[in-house]
Amino acid sequence: MIEQLQAILGTPNVLTGTDTAPWARDWTGKYLGAPAAVARPGSTEDVSAVMAAAHANGWRVTPVSGNTGLNGGAIAPGELILSLDRMRTVRDIRPAARVAEVEAGVVLADLHGAVAPHGLIFPMTFGAQGSARIGGMIATNAGGSNVLRYGSTRALVLGIEAVMADGRVMSLMSALHKDNTGLDLKNLMIGSEGALGIVTAATLKLFPKPQAYATATVAAASLEAALALLTRLQDASDGAVEAFEYMPGRYIERHVARVAGAREPFDTRHEVNLLVELGAVAPRDTAAGPDGRVPLSALLEEQLGAALEDGLVQDAVVASSEAQRRQMWERREASAEITFGPEPIVDTDISVPLDRVPDFMGLVQTRVLAFDPGARDLVVGHLGDGNLHYTVYPSDESLGPRIREIVDDTAVEFGGSFSAEHGIGLSKLGALRRLKDPVAQDAMRAIKAALDPKGILNPGKTIP
């Protein structure tokens, strides 16, 4: 296998032995295993040639982009990893159409930088934006802090290019917003975690860069009050809320304890802390008036003041500078670093309907503590779209699998999902097998068998 790969890609682009170390563990450190080799293609043609050889020889192939996933979806002990990290070209930016054509190995932050000079944004953002790559985001249908306004990755992809299991290239690199020519194969590939094909490039939607942001850290009286505030802000701003992030008191404590220089957002501890951000493009909302106030900021201040009088809000700090805005975002974006540590951990990624969030939180905490009275929990989430990362530190590592089941089952009871934005990988395969509609599982297996009859693409993950 290694000799054939070297003939296709050149010896420097086929890594073995200790050179494979960066691909021998996932970001969390929970999943470990050195691959037999790491192939690093530099083009779609290279990926096609590798997959043609893999199909002919029965090699099992796991595609990897930034390796920032949390569910073990990119680990392949003793097998072949195909890394797209060399495919980092932004092929085209078309400002008039507001689209960008990029290769799968483009780092999210680099894409942000490439489109900024055109006055545009690619609106997906999250803490790992400096290392996560577009291919992995598409493979997992990644979410983030701006899903509330712009949607998840699936909503931001107009077209894709993908190499199939047998090496053939499927080109669906359309920039069309409407295309009803048969089955929606693009969206079938998005979220499939490399089990149906390897996405090598994509055509992505761009948006005008907001000319003003209004950002605040808010202490709400309760989760119910927080959701009422979200509705008020959405109505008052005509849907301009870009982020509505939830950080409870325990999250703030852990952030202050673990991050050098971190400070409490308020003088008094509050249990429901929010990061709220509005964004606007139109001059009517962004141009400062005679009093020097930006209308968007004035709107946020007025709404928070009214919510304070009505008892929905207990305290609030509105960012008065870009530096202060960044400090607020840094508190939220440090979540992965402060959540993961040396202690045993159960990290979940659930979503429930907005109006069920308070009830879910109350019941899941009760159930977890009833099973493991010594457990501690930590929550952070995208409250605006109902996505919560409910983390539990069990008193004993052996209790972890049952605690994961409790959290997942409770989410589904409330009409929710056990996987909101991080994919399935290895860690959620059991939950999918237990909780996904059995007919849907049969359909998933049938599609996998049709597109990858030898079962060589990211085997043992995502599809039971």
Residue 28: pLDDT band by 50, 70, 90 thresholds?
confident
The answer to whether residue 229 scores a pLDDT higher than 90 is: yes
Q: How far apart are CA 136 and CA 138, in angstroms?
A: 5
Question: Mean of the pLDDT values across residues 168-193?
Answer: 95
Residue 232: pLDDT band by 50, 70, 90 thresholds?
very high
Question: Mean of the pLDDT values across residues 65-88?
Answer: 93
- Structure-token pair, residue 339: 């959540």
The pLDDT of residue 296 is: 95
In 10 A of CB 6, how many CB atoms? 16
Q: How far apart are CA 432 and CA 425, in angstroms?
A: 10
The answer to whether residue 381 scores a pLDDT higher than 90 is: yes
Question: Mean of the pLDDT values across residues 97-114?
Answer: 98
Q: Report pTM.
A: 0.93
The answer to whether residue 446 scores a pLDDT higher than 90 is: yes
Establish how many alpha carbons lie within 13 A of residue 177's alpha carbon, considering only the half-sphere containing its beta carbon: 5
Residue 396: pLDDT band by 50, 70, 90 thresholds?
very high
- Nearest-Å Rg of the Cα atoms of the chain is 23
Q: How far apart are CA 240 and CA 235, in angstroms?
A: 9
Residue 341: pLDDT band by 50, 70, 90 thresholds?
confident
The answer to whether residue 293 scores a pLDDT higher than 90 is: no
The answer to whether residue 27 scores a pLDDT higher than 90 is: no
Task: Please write the tens of the pLDDT for every residue from 244-291.
Answer: 999 999 999 999 999 998 999 999 999 999 999 999 999 999 998 888
Cα torsion 309, 312, 317, 321: sign: negative
Residue 221: pLDDT band by 50, 70, 90 thresholds?
very high
Q: Are 233 and 201 contacting, i.e. CB atoms less than 8 angstroms apart? A: no
Identity of the residue numbered 67: N
Q: 169: alpha, beta or left, given left = phi > 0 and alpha = psi -120 to 50?
A: beta
Q: How far is CA 211 from the centre of its chain?
A: 25
The pLDDT of residue 202 is: 98
Identity of the residue numbered 65: S
The pLDDT of residue 109 is: 96
Beta 346-347 vs 376-382: how paired, if at all? unpaired
The pLDDT of residue 291 is: 82
In 10 A of CB 417, how many CB atoms? 18
Q: What 3 state SS string does the chain have? A: CHHHHHHHHCHHHEECHHHHHHHCECCCCCCECCCCEEECCCCHHHHHHHHHHHHHHCCCEEEECCCCCCCCCCCCCCCEEEECCCCCCEEEEECCCCEEEEECCCEHHHHHHHHHHHCEECCCCCCCCCCCEHHHHHHHCCCCCCHHHHCCHHHHEEEEEEECCCCCEEEECCCCCCCCCCCCHHHHHCCCCCCCCEEEEEEEECEECCCEEEEEEEEECCHHHHHHHHHHHHHHHCCCEEEEEEEEHHHHHHHHHHCCCCCCCCCCCCCEEEEEEEEECCHHHHCCCCCCCCHHHHHHHHHHHHHHHCCCEEEEEECCCHHHHHHHHHHHHCHHHHHCCCCCCEECEEECCHHHHHHHHHHHHHHHHHHCCCCEEEEEEEHHHCEEEEEEECCCHHHHHHHHHHHHHHHHHCCCECECCCCCCCCCHHHHHHHCCHHHHHHHHHHHHHHCCCCCECCCCCCC
Q: Are 36 and 79 contacting, i.e. CB atoms less than 8 angstroms apart? A: yes
The pLDDT of residue 126 is: 86
The answer to whether residue 292 scores a pLDDT higher than 90 is: no
The pLDDT of residue 250 is: 94
The answer to whether residue 393 scores a pLDDT higher than 90 is: yes
Domains, the chain, ranges and CATH? 2-85 (3.30.43.10), 90-208 (3.30.465.10), 212-336 (3.30.70.2190), 342-449 (3.30.70.2740)
**pLDDT averaged over the chain?**
95
